[in-house]
Amino acid sequence: MKGKVYLVGGGPGDPELLTLKATKILARANIVLHDALVSREVLALAAAGAELIDVGKRCGRKLLTQEEINALLVSYATSHEVVVRLKGGDPLLFGRAGEEITALREAGVEFEIVPGITAAFGAAAAAGFSLTDRRVASQVLFTTIQRDTDNRSIQWGGISSTTTLVLYMPGTDYARVMEQLRDAGWPDDMPCAIVSHASGKDQEIRSTVLAKLGDEATLPAPAIMVVGRVVAEVAEEISREFRIGPEIAGRTSHPMVI
Digit-coded pLDDT (tens) for 16-45: 999 999 999 999 999 999 999 899 999 999
Strands 57-58 vs 61-62: parallel, antiparallel or unpaired? antiparallel
Q: Could you tell me which residue, 147 or 29, shows the higher pLDDT?
A: 29
Cis bond upstream, residue 255 (ω within 30)? no
Annotation says 90 is catalytic: no
Predicted local confidence at residue 134, as pLDDT: 92
At residue 55, the pLDDT reads: 94
The span from the CA of 119 to the CA of 121, in Å, is 5
Catalytic-labelled residue, pool 35, 90, 148, 201: 35
Does the pLDDT at position 254 exceed 60? no
The catalytic position among 57, 189, 202, 212 is 57
* Domains within the chain, CATH numbers bracketed: 4-114 (3.40.1010.10), 119-249 (3.30.950.10)
pLDDT tens across 44-99, in order? 999 999 999 999 876 556 789 999 999 999 999 999 999 999 999 999 999 899 99
Cα 173 to Cα 130, 145, 213, 221: the distances in Å are: 26, 10, 10, 13
H/E element, 4: strand 4-9
245: left (phi over 0), alpha (psi -120 to 50) or beta: left
Catalytic residue flag (residue 202): no
Neighbouring C-alpha atoms within 13 Å toward the C-beta of 213? 28
Q: What is the 3-state secondary structure (H, E, C) of 181-242?
A: HHHCCCCCCCEEEEEECCCCCCCEEEEEEHHHHHHCCCCCCCEEEEECHHHHHHHHHHHHHH
Q: How far apart are CA 84 and CA 34, in angstroms?
A: 8
Low-confidence winner among 23-27, 68-72, 150-154, 203-207 (lowest mean pLDDT): 150-154
* Count of other CB atoms within 10 angstroms of residue 22: 23
